[in-house]
Structure formats: C-alpha cells, structure tokens
Structure 1
Amino acid sequence: MKRTLVLAAVLAAALPFTASAHKAWLLPSQTTMAGNAPWITVDAAVSNDLFYFNHVPIRLESLQITAPDGSRVQPSNGATGKFRSVFDVELKQQGTYRIASVNDGLFATYEQNGERKRWRGSEATLGELPKDAKNVQLSQSVGRVETFVTNGAPNATALAPTNRGIELVALSHPNDQFAGETARFRLLVDGQPAAGLDVEIVRGATRYRNAQDELKVSSDAKGEFSVAWGEPGMYWLETSSEDDRTSVKQAAKRRLSYVATLEVLPQ
C-alpha cells in the first residue's frame, strides 16, 4: 500500500509532463464560511474527469496546511482508498487557510545488467541507486497542488510565497472570485515573477459535457495573466515548466508543476 501511494504522489507531481488527461486536485467541501471553529472535508485525487475520483489518490503524507496566522495545522480523520484520499480540517482561526499537497522528489533512469530501469525517491534516499548503475539520468520534480478556504474575513498571511517551485499569487483574494468578473494572477518560480508560462483553466463537471471548454492563457513579462470568469463553479488551474536550477547537484534538470482549485461564486 505504501508503495502504491508513493507512486501516486509522484504521478501527481509529474502529470503535466506525462498524461494531460490525468488531473490532480484538492476539492474542499466549502471554500467560504463563517462560524466558531467550523469543519471542512477535502477530497484529494488524480482523475480523468473534474472533479470525479476515478484514477488514483493523492497521498496524505505530502499535505501542508497553513492557518491564517501562518502556523501549520494537522488534518483530521485522514483516509486513503482506491481512488481518493479524504481528510477533515477544523478551522479554529478566522481568516484564510492554504491547503496543499507538496512534492519534491527525484526521478532516475539507469542501466543495470543491460536493462534500462527506473528509480524514484528523494535526496535522502539517493544512496538506494545500485552501485553498478550505468548511464544514470537524474531529474528533480517539484510540484504543488493546492486550494484555499476562508473562515470569516479573508486575510493573506497563509498566502505568502514559500519561494520554492511554481506558486500562484492572486492579485484579488483567491476566495473572492465571481462570475462575470475578470481576475488577475501572478505566477512565481522560486519567488520571482515567471514570464511565458502556459496556463490551462477548466471548469469542473467535465463528465457531463462533450468538450473540456478549457481556457488557455500565458503569463506576461511580469508573470501576470487575466481570467474572465464565465459560469460559477469549481475551477482547475494548471501550469508547468522545466529548467536546470536543481537543488541536487547530481540532477541535470528540474520539472515544476502547479495546480490550484478555485471556486467562482455567482454574483
């Protein structure tokens, strides 16, 4: 089971480079509410349809939940099944929570005894590669899949960039998106504005329409792009890139991916 979950997490991190039909996502039961320590439930999965769990789960070991004051929160009642993981979060604080699955790993191909093989792991487990491995090609993968939930009045503390990999800065609050309005976002790579990134945005419930109806835009010189929201609903936003700015000297390249789930509310 543990091996299956690890492979699922690696798949989620590498999706933009492997199979565009498979989409990783976190889906909260609510994104905005007001109350004294309310609860939400979050589904975490990789699927063919948005937002239906019909492929593999995202592992819970990679979760990072940031509270409105910037502290870390542990999920409750976590469980992983065949097609999805699920967990609860108690929103004890007023403000905005950032809920993310963050993966930072290594992938290698190599030859051993005349056969081409693959390995996945981390910098800490790099020593697991066979001593007699030849023609080793090592790459780094940094991926973030996230969503945002606000209890009461929104704030921005949890939204501060970590300056690692691709991150999204909502120039209007991520829980303040409305149909018929145009929102503006900024993309960062390692904390710096990222120009020329291609972004795909898809409204959920793709199972019930013949076309994905995806919107494709690119970030400008400031790393910014605009989205004119159509119908209300839950939206999936994805981008990816590749560079040679690895933090592991043995890795020749770095693959970056980012996914966010945003709710667009009716006017």
Structure 2
Amino acid sequence: MKIATRLASIALALSASAAVHAHNVWLLPSSTVLSKGDWITVDAAVSNDLFFFNHRPMGLDGLVVTAPDGSTVKPENMLEGKLRSVFDLNLVQPGTYRVAVLNDGVLARWKDKATGQVKRARGTPENIAGQIPADAQEVEVTQSAGRIETFVTVGKPSALKPSGKGLELVAANPTDLVKGEKASFALQIDGQPAKNFDVTITQGNTRYRDKINETTLRTDANGQFSVTWPDAGMYWLEATGKDTKTSVPAAKERRLSYAATLEVMP
C-alpha cells in the first residue's frame, strides 16, 4: 500500500480512537528494560481492547526508531498480518530508545461542481493539492499530526530529546515506573507547554474488565502532570487536541494526537 494511504489510515485510526474510544492504537514491546544489548519484538495494532489483536494491523510506513545518541535504528523482520504488524529491533547501544510511528497527514473534503456530491481525499502535505480538482467547491482541508510511541532502555537510562514537532510527551525516564510511586510528565506542542490539556491513562487488559477504568488528568500552565500508578502492568496514555498552526496553506485546522505504551513494574 502506498505511503500516503498508510499515513491516512493512521490518522483515521487516531481520530476514531480519540472521538469514541472504539479503537485503541498502540505499540507493544516484548520488553521495555534490558540489562544489556539484546533483541526485542514490537507488535503494532489498532484494536477494540487494549493490547489485544482484534481489529486490524497498524501501518508502519511512519515508523522511526531513535537510539540514545540520536541515530536511527533500522527495524528488521517487518511483517503486516491480518490483525497486527510486527517488527524486531536489535538494541545494542546503552540508553533509552524512542520507538514511534509518526503521522503528518491531510484530509480534504469538497463538493463536486458537476454532481454536487461530497468528495474526500487523504494524503500528505506534499500531494494533497494535486488530489483536489481545480473547480472543486466548498473545499475544507484539515491537517493531522500524530505520534504513537513506546520506550525501551538498555542498561542505564539516558535523557530523551523532544523533537519539537506536534504533540509529544516529555519524561525524565519513561521506563522507570513503579507501582505506588508518583511519576511526573509534561506535554508539549511544537516544543512549547501544552497548557490545560486532558490526558487519559488506561491500564491494559480492558478485555477482562466490566469498566475501562480510565483516569483523566489535566496539564497545568507548564504542561506538566503527574500520576501515581495503582498497579503494575502495561498502560496506554493518550491525548488529543487541535489548533490552527498548520503548515499546509489550505488547512485551517490541525488535529493533534498522541498515544504511548508505558510499563509499570511491581
């Protein structure tokens, strides 16, 4: 499948997840902490229940794995199945890695001049203009900036440098989370504090609970928030929003989305 289609697929999944929580979009590493360099496997899916493969695979065209020194790690054995995608990582360098699927997509909507029917197209900032007819009427263009990620540490943790693009999490050590202890984080938008932003945290295994039991927190004036983990296990952190800081001239709105998988130890 073409990259533009894949990016649009990720954007649609993020949008649906944020709106109704019908689908969760996530990366799930086999390990988040390694004592020494080793291989890990990462699953990637869009699901009805957290960390269960029961909807469809996530596209990996936007996958970027960043090593502690800022270099890029090449994923191996990438595979897209019917319900999940999967890839392996050989993590040799000590420190903390950022594993992320990035989306910078654009959605266009317009009315066809000849038929009056509503048409839609999804693509990238580079190719969306070419998909809209010159005589299109009532054109609406929306940009999306999404990040889905997780973190893995080999040996001693290292500082994570924010990209300064879109909505992202800032954490001193996102792989050193312990049951009963408070952890502090911050959200940023384009490198600036995401003020008064809602953050939702959900423990995994929702399949086996009558209620999702999600926790919603709100960032302060510095974009900061904290959480005391009630139990050990895998957690999903999500935040969504929108602004008008688009990089596509025709777009009046930018939809922001972020999701991260975090592991809390006993």
- Does the TM-score normalized on the shorter chain lie above 0.5? yes
| Distance in 2 separating the partners of 1:6 and 1:247 | 16
Cα 1:17–1:213 shift into 2, 3 Å: closer
Deviation at 1:85, TM superposition (A): 0.6
Indicate the residue corresponding to 1:153 in structure 2.
Answer: 156
In 1, distance between residues paired with 2:145 and 2:51?
23
Counterpart Cα distance in 2 of 1:95 and 1:13 = 29
Once the two structures are superposed, residues 217-265 of structure 1 have per-residue CA deviations (whole angstroms, 9 ceiling, x without a partner) of 1001111111010110000000011111101111010000000100000
2:220 partner letter: D
Give 1:131 deviation, angstroms. Answer: 2.3
CA contact under 8 A between 1:13 and 1:103: conserved in structure 2?
no
Q: How many pairs are equivalent?
A: 262
Aligned match of 1:115: 117
Letter in 1 for 2:140: Q
**TM-score, normalising length from structure 1?**
0.94
SS in 1 for 2:260: strand
TM-score by length of structure 2 reads 0.95
Quote the residue 1:133 is aligned against. Answer: 136
CA–CA distance in structure 2, aligned partners of residues 129 and 137 of structure 1: 10
The 8 Å contact of residues 7 and 62 in structure 2, kept in 1 or not, is answered as no
Instruction: Give secondary structure in 2 for the equivalent of 1:60.
Output: coil
Q: Say whether residues 1:14 and 2:15 are aligned partners.
A: yes
Q: Report the CA distance between 1:6 and its aligned residue.
A: 4.7
Q: Hey, what does 2:236 align to over in structure 1?
A: 236
Contact 1:101 1:145 in 2 (8 A): yes
Structure 1 unaligned runs (5+)?
Answer: none
**Contact 2:63/2:99 (<8 A) preserved:** yes
Check the 8 A contact 1:67/1:98 in 2, yes or no. Answer: yes
Q: 8 Å contact 1:42–1:87 — kept in the other structure?
A: yes
Amino acid at match of 1:257: S
1:123-143 deviation line (CA, Å, top 9, x unaligned): 211212222221110010000
Unpaired runs of 5+ residues, structure 2, are none
Q: 1-side partners of 2:59 and 2:203: how far apart?
A: 24
Q: Percent identity?
A: 53
3-state SS of 1:125 partner: coil
Q: What CA deviation, in whole Å up to 9, does each residue of 1:45-82 have, x standing for no partner?
A: 11110110111211111101000111011100000112
The answer to which of 5-14 and 140-149 deviates more is 5-14
Amino acid at match of 1:58: M
